[in-house]
Amino acid sequence: MLETLSTATPAKGGETMPEWNEKEIVGRAQQGDMEACDALIRQFQERIYATIYHMTSNHEDAADLAQITFIKAIRKIEKFKGQSSFFTWLYRIAVNNTINFIRSKRKRVILSINQMDEEYDRGEELLGLVSKDTPQRDIDRHELQGMLNAAMQKFSTNHRLVVTLHDVQGLPHEQIGEIMDCNTNTVRTRLHYARKQLQAHLSDYLKQ
């Protein structure tokens, strides 16, 4: 993951950028400080890219959509009022862009098993299906990957997204609700449904 800025960074006018202070740096960016804009991009680019990649399963598409996300965010940054964290506001832009892209291109959405359990140790029910303790993982990883992909493709965009944000990105229910513009009960319901469907789809395979 991208490291938090911890050292002073040159800013315009010969000033220096303080240690990471989101509110202050966003304020500078809203005033047209390009060094502050660059700092925001550096801070969040890897997480934004990772989220988009898990939704599109295409590196080029993820890179393009991440770039578009930051361009839109910088152009609209004066509209950010601080009612949520900047991170949540930025995620919402990325998610909306990606959903529109998926719908228009009808892309297949594939989750990476490796990244799911190497980068994050969350989502007990889902990750338990592909954990290192599962014998089938070493026996036929590709088959399990294919079955997971097939199950995910049957989900609505919202169900794919909630799995990506919670089980892959590790975001809490409250923040996912802000990003998806729904309450936490809806987030929990969608996540529960998606996990049950994945478990049902993989149950016969895991019993072998």
In tens, the pLDDT along 10-19 reads 344 434 444 5
CATH of 113-206, one of 3.40.50.300, 1.20.810.10, 3.40.190.80, 1.10.10.10: 1.10.10.10
Look at residue 45 in the predicted model and tell me its pLDDT: 92
- Lowest mean pLDDT of 17-26, 29-38, 44-53, name the range: 17-26
Q: How far apart are CA 179 and CA 97, in angstroms?
A: 12
Look at residue 3 in the predicted model and tell me its pLDDT: 34
Q: What is the distance of C-alpha 48 from the center of its chain? A: 6
| Interval 117-127 mean pLDDT | 44
Look at residue 166 in the predicted model and tell me its pLDDT: 87
CATH of 13-105, one of 3.90.76.10, 3.40.50.720, 1.10.760.10, 1.10.1740.10: 1.10.1740.10
**Which of 8-28 are b and which e, b meaning 16 or more Cβ less than 10 Å from the residue's Cβ?**
ebebeeeeebeeeeeeebbeb
Is the distance from CB of 170 to CB of 120 less than 8 angstroms?
yes
End-to-end CA distance of the chain: 36
Q: Which amino acid type is present at position 14?
A: G
- Residue ranges, comma separated, of all CATH 1.10.1740.10 domains in the chain are 13-105
In the chain, % of residues over pLDDT 70: 67
- Residue ranges, comma separated, of all CATH 1.10.10.10 domains in the chain are 113-206
Tell me what the pLDDT averaged over the chain comes to: 75
- SS3 assignment for 14-61: HCEECCCCHHHHHHHHHCCCHHHHHHHHHHHHHHHHHHHHHHHCCHHH
pLDDT of 109 > 50? The answer is: no
Identify each DSSP E strand in the chain by its residue range: 9-10, 16-17
Q: How large is the C-alpha radius of gyration of the chain? A: 19
